[in-house]
Amino acid sequence: MAMALTRACCCTLARQRNPLCSSFLRNPHHQRIRFRQPLQSFKSYPAGFQRRIRAIHEAAVEPITSNKQNEPLPQPQNWNIKMLYDGDCPLCMREVNMLRERNESYGTIKFVDISSDEYSPEENQGLDYKTVMGRIHAILSDGTVVTDVEAFRKLYEQVGLGWVYAVTKYEPIATIADAIYSVWAKYRLQITGRPPLEVILDTRKKKDEICNNSNACKM
């Protein structure tokens, strides 16, 4: 959803009439969004953010359902970029699954679910769960960490969709696109009807304590 907003704003700001971009934004598949949070609860937020929320809410056509993969999929051996994603975020998973499908033809992206019990910060440049939950992170094969819209741009470039974010390389669009994404990153848990991050972290901590002190989590 955040990236749909960013893509729309980038197209507008660049004053481009790219038929591919227009088709993408009109595609009902990318508009199937419904908020579990009543619109009234967003009245205290900035006016610009309220308008974006209302626009997305009016386009909703079906409830959010998780598209998280239950079974691990084969990962490419020679990947160029690693995407760290929140597998418990249903809207995020729409984009992840689209990229994953495209990646079948490229094999350049390695997908890492930070919500998995197997997630290891040590294997991902020391990025812990709390940090990665705050905003999108990706790791290049040389160990460089990229975030925000730059991360999406590099991911899309790897699956032949670099044109989608090409305009975000240039100012002032780069700054505006990051600002739009930052709004989404700040409010995404509330928008998708999930508990605050502090509650999620506490739940994970308690689960870890139970797992470490018993065989409850062992199969």
- At residue 164, the pLDDT reads 94
Euclidean distance between CA atoms 64 and 26, whole angstroms: 19
- At residue 80, the pLDDT reads 97
Q: Is the peptide bond before 63 cis (omega within 30 degrees of 0)?
A: no
- At residue 171, the pLDDT reads 95
> Dihedral sign, CA of 139, 198, 98, 104?
positive
Q: Which residues pair with 85 in a beta bridge?
A: 113
- At residue 214, the pLDDT reads 61
pTM of the model: 0.67
Euclidean distance between CA atoms 186 and 102, whole angstroms: 28
Q: Which residues pair with 81 in a beta bridge?
A: 109, 140
Q: Please say whether the beta carbons of 137 and 127 come within 8 A.
A: yes
Q: Which residues pair with 105 in a beta bridge?
A: none
pLDDT in tens, the chain (219 residues): 555 555 555 555 444 444 444 444 444 444 444 444 554 555 555 555 555 555 544 444 344 445 555 555 567 678 999 999 999 998 899 999 999 999 999 999 999 999 999 999 999 999 999 999 999 999 999 999 999 999 999 999 999 999 999 999 999 999 999 999 999 999 999 998 999 999 999 988 888 777 766 665 654
